[in-house]
Structure 1
């Protein structure tokens, strides 16, 4: 317990001296020395420097050994309605420092022939070569997928990518790559990134609404995410809108193709939905304003459904469309929301400029590895 507590402190604080660790843990000097010796001999902690300028001898400064674990994160994208590459991936060490990151096109992965296992193997091999590592250094792989993962059946559901819906895929990846592998809905991972790095930081809980080529909703409960009985919580795109007419569901109201079609009626064009929204934000004309107002009216429908059912303390608008719209679109959404409902849920727009799914996958993978290290250390040092 002493070793695992000390390891947790080093992970949380970054660097600590022996004296600082003693104050934080309440351990005696000899016990603190024994704990640090155990962690350094196990390769989990290293001396990174010495203090100077104070009375007495200089104190050693300890930190986590960044090479004690290497985490891989892969964001799998449905590229049907987007210009992005289908895969974005990164490697990071135990401190979270990025060792390699790249986007992968279908052409770059042609040798995989639509086999997810071969695809992932090629991605990891490429990243390891860039980072100067051998693949056996990898500890954990976190996948972000445009669907919901049901651990009971080891199946990624609601996904329209060749091979990725095969039952047993995640377990097969773990076996064939000799890694710990976890899969998570992409919007849930975006919420994890928002919790650690964005508008959700410091809040008790929040809901993230994702507007891009597809729709999604992640429900952050503070210590955990609400995933539902089969991992499908938040699949808001399937919610019917209207009775017996069009649009048939929420996806057809405010999904990427619907946003492009709406933009076209106002004379706004773009290769993708986010391009059309960005063009409208940059345009001061009446048609652009009309398009953004009409889009905000539609987004407010999704916002009202979430706010009425969950009454969250905060809703964060995220995804490519929300990022492109920024504060301009957010203000119009709030105006429509307040006009059409008596609800007054606070609404923010994501402040994350990068691929939020990949950031969240990295954060989730690091958390899993760190918890596993602490648990394994606790188990290894427990007397039989």
Structure 2
């Protein structure tokens, strides 16, 4: 039977993409290692490595001494300079309480090449101009930049390419993303900041071995929820899954939502009621304890009970500035509050990430997209 036209080209591309995937993660492999991992023949592995090397995607990084006579085995790895990914986290509107933007650049191997924080006045700065300035600071020569992952407090509707539920001026404009891509000349992805924090939590934090988890973000400004189902994030039909701050509540003094109960301003007010000082909600929680934690935990349990009742996650991760400031004492208080609130069982932990989780998650997401694009390029070549 005749072989279908193009089948040899497709097979070659599949072999190359498989080898590249292994050289990116875990990397530093000999030909023998690649044969074992891919089940390809020695001649095929040699040809694959030649083509990947000629394309500048991999190279010899060391030699492994042989026990028997003969040349030392070459150790290959992906070329870290073959492609870069950038992450930009927009945290607020530059109110003066801290940097409004954090950004980082990493190479194909995942090594961070640049990182900084800065203030941007988005009220008077066009989003395209602001992002162009950030990318220029990250990398003057953008030829290797393959993808930018943008994290923002809000939702992103992929169908209409519109950012919603955000207070950052200029970013609510319909069709903003295509305009940014055209202006900056590089692919850009947008995701909710709490979703990106969940990506970091799965890769670096307490959720590494979890089959699925919910991440409740208790931030200095707002609330958020990320829902991880077996490593896949639930974003909803319009990207609005997890906007838990809008969950309505009925109180004696009128209709409120969860943001009014445990959002940053509410935590500050609760701290003042208990005589606890602090300029930010995180600072208040750092200085607190006892009755304050009990009352705050009871408020958190109101929202958390609804999450657990609907999703029944095996793990709930408390993250954000307030959760990090509260640490284990806040986690224990929330655990006890949940026992009082409802007969629901989910393990509760505080994030173990002490870095900027949103930025780390954006780097992970951006790098994953770059790697997939390189492998796709090989398959299509």
Q: Within 5 Å, which residues of 2 pair with 1:29-40?
A: 29-40=42-53
1:285 maps to none
Q: Does residue 311 of structure 2 align to residue 310 of structure 1?
A: yes
For 2:60 and 2:143, locate their aligned partners in 1 and report how far apart those are by CA, in whole Å: 25
Q: Does residue 109 of structure 2 align to residue 95 of structure 1?
A: yes
Q: Within 5 Å, which residues of 2 pair with 1:205-244?
A: 205-212=212-219, 213-242=221-250
8 A contact 1:247–1:253 mirrored in 2: no
For 1:135 and 1:169, locate their aligned partners in 2 and report how far apart those are by CA, in whole Å: 21
1:27 maps to 40
Task: Tell me whether 294-303 or 180-189 shows the greater mean CA deviation.
Answer: 294-303
For 1:337 and 1:246, locate their aligned partners in 2 and report how far apart those are by CA, in whole Å: 25
8 A contact 2:94–2:119 mirrored in 1: no
For 2:195 and 2:100, locate their aligned partners in 1 and report how far apart those are by CA, in whole Å: 18
2:128 maps to 117
The Cα of 1:246 is off from its aligned counterpart by 4.4
1:335 maps to 336
For 1:15 and 1:120, locate their aligned partners in 2 and report how far apart those are by CA, in whole Å: 35
The Cα of 1:245 is off from its aligned counterpart by 3.4
For 1:246 and 1:103, locate their aligned partners in 2 and report how far apart those are by CA, in whole Å: 40
Per-residue Cα deviation, 1:172-214 (whole angstroms, up to 9, x for no partner): 1111111010000000000000011001101111100000110
1:264 maps to 272
Q: Does residue 54 of structure 2 align to residue 41 of structure 1?
A: yes
2:285 maps to 277
Per-residue Cα deviation, 1:49-106 (whole angstroms, up to 9, x for no partner): 0002522321000000001111110001125788331000001001110000000113
The Cα of 1:375 is off from its aligned counterpart by 1.1
Rate the CA distance shift 1:52–1:247 in 2: closer, same or farther, 3 A: farther
The Cα of 1:136 is off from its aligned counterpart by 2.8
For 2:340 and 2:111, locate their aligned partners in 1 and report how far apart those are by CA, in whole Å: 45
For 1:201 and 1:223, locate their aligned partners in 2 and report how far apart those are by CA, in whole Å: 10
Secondary structure, aligned partner of 2:29: strand
Q: Which runs of 5+ in 1 are unaligned?
A: 281-287
2:194 maps to 187
Q: Within 5 Å, which residues of 2 pair with 1:1-384?
A: 1-56=14-69, 57-79=71-93, 83-106=97-120, 113-129=124-140, 134-212=141-219, 213-242=221-250, 245-246=253-254, 248-280=256-288, 288-380=289-381
For 2:255 and 2:274, locate their aligned partners in 1 and report how far apart those are by CA, in whole Å: 19
Secondary structure, aligned partner of 1:13: coil
For 1:316 and 1:104, locate their aligned partners in 2 and report how far apart those are by CA, in whole Å: 28
1:283 maps to none
The Cα of 1:247 is off from its aligned counterpart by 6.3
- The normalised TM-score by structure 1 is 0.92
For 2:236 and 2:94, locate their aligned partners in 1 and report how far apart those are by CA, in whole Å: 27
- The normalised TM-score by structure 2 is 0.93
Rate the CA distance shift 1:171–1:297 in 2: closer, same or farther, 3 A: same
Q: What is the root-mean-square deviation of aligned Cα atoms in Å?
A: 1.6
8 A contact 1:45–1:64 mirrored in 2: yes
Secondary structure, aligned partner of 1:136: coil
8 A contact 1:144–1:183 mirrored in 2: yes
Secondary structure, aligned partner of 2:250: coil
Per-residue Cα deviation, 1:256-314 (whole angstroms, up to 9, x for no partner): 0000000000001211100100111xxxxxxx411111111111111111100100111
Rate the CA distance shift 1:247–1:98 in 2: closer, same or farther, 3 A: farther
For 1:164 and 1:55, locate their aligned partners in 2 and report how far apart those are by CA, in whole Å: 63
For 1:89 and 1:315, locate their aligned partners in 2 and report how far apart those are by CA, in whole Å: 28
